[in-house]
Amino acid sequence: MKKNIFAILASGSLLSITPAFATTQAEDIAALKAYFAERWPNVKDGDMSNGAYSLSEDKRINWESMRDFPPYEDHLAIGEEIWNTSFKNGNTWASCFGDDPSKIRNRFPHWNARDKKVETLEGNIIQCQKANGEEPFKAKKGKIAYFSAWLASQANGQTINVVVPQDDPDAVAAYEAGRQFFYAKRGQLNLSCADCHVYQSGYYARGNLLSPVRGHTTHFPVWRGKWARSGGDGFGTLHRRYGGCNSQVRAKSFKAHGKEYSNLEYFHASMSNGMTINAPDYRE
Partner 1 sequence: MKQLLSTVLVALLAVGMISSALADEAAYKKLHAEAVVANDKAKEAGGEWRDARDKKSKFIECGDKKMSILHAAECYAAKGDYKNAMKYAEMAKSQGELGYQQAIQQKNAGPRH
What is the contact mask toward ligand HEC in residues 236 to 255, using x (rule: CB under 6 A)? -----xx--xx-xx------
Does 216 contact ligand HEC by CB under 6 A?
yes
Please state, in angstroms and rounded to a whole number, the distance separating the CA atoms of residues 196 and 202. 9
- The values of phi and psi at residue 280, to 5°, are -80, 180
Please choose which of partner 1, ligand HEC, none residue 93 contacts, taking the beta carbon within 5 to 8 angstroms, the exact cut-off set by kind.
Answer: none
Does 191 contact ligand HEC by CB under 6 A?
yes
Please state, in angstroms and rounded to a whole number, the distance separating the CA atoms of residues 144 and 138. 7
Please choose which of partner 1, ligand HEC, none residue 179 contacts, taking the beta carbon within 5 to 8 angstroms, the exact cut-off set by kind.
Answer: partner 1
Please state, in angstroms and rounded to a whole number, the distance separating the CA atoms of residues 284 and 170. 38
Does 105 contact ligand HEC by CB under 6 A?
no
Please choose which of partner 1, ligand HEC, none residue 151 contacts, taking the beta carbon within 5 to 8 angstroms, the exact cut-off set by kind.
Answer: none
Does 256 contact ligand HEC by CB under 6 A?
no
Neighbours of 58 (CB within 10 A): 9
In what helix (H) or strand (E) does residue 208 lie, and over which residues does it extend? Answer: strand 208-209
Neighbours of 165 (CB within 10 A): 13
Query: Cis link prior to 19 (omega < 30° from 0)?
Result: no
Set 128, 193, 196, 245: catalytic member: 245
Interface with ligand HEC (CB under 6 A), residue total 21
Shortest distance (Å) from residue 78 CB to partner 1? 28
Q: Does 96 qualify as catalytic in the annotation?
A: no
Does 275 contact ligand HEC by CB under 6 A?
no
Residues 6+ apart with CB under 8 A from 220: 148, 152, 237, 238, 241, 279, 280
Please state, in angstroms and rounded to a whole number, the distance separating the CA atoms of residues 200 and 219. 21
- Nearest to 164, CA basis, from 239, 99, 109, 214: 109
Does 197 contact ligand HEC by CB under 6 A?
yes
Please state, in angstroms and rounded to a whole number, the distance separating the CA atoms of residues 6 and 206. 9
Residues that bind partner 1 (CB under 8 A): 13, 15-17, 19-22, 28, 31-32, 35, 179-180, 183-188, 190, 192, 194, 198-199, 246-247, 250-253, 260
Shortest distance (Å) from residue 225 CB to ligand HEC? 11
Site for ligand HEC in 24-53 (CB under 6 A): 51-52
Please state, in angstroms and rounded to a whole number, the distance separating the CA atoms of residues 238 and 253. 13
User: Which residues sit at the interface with ligand HEC, rule CB under 6 A?
Assistant: 51-52, 191, 193, 195-197, 205, 208, 210-211, 216, 222, 241-242, 245-246, 248-249, 268, 283
Give the active site residues: 245
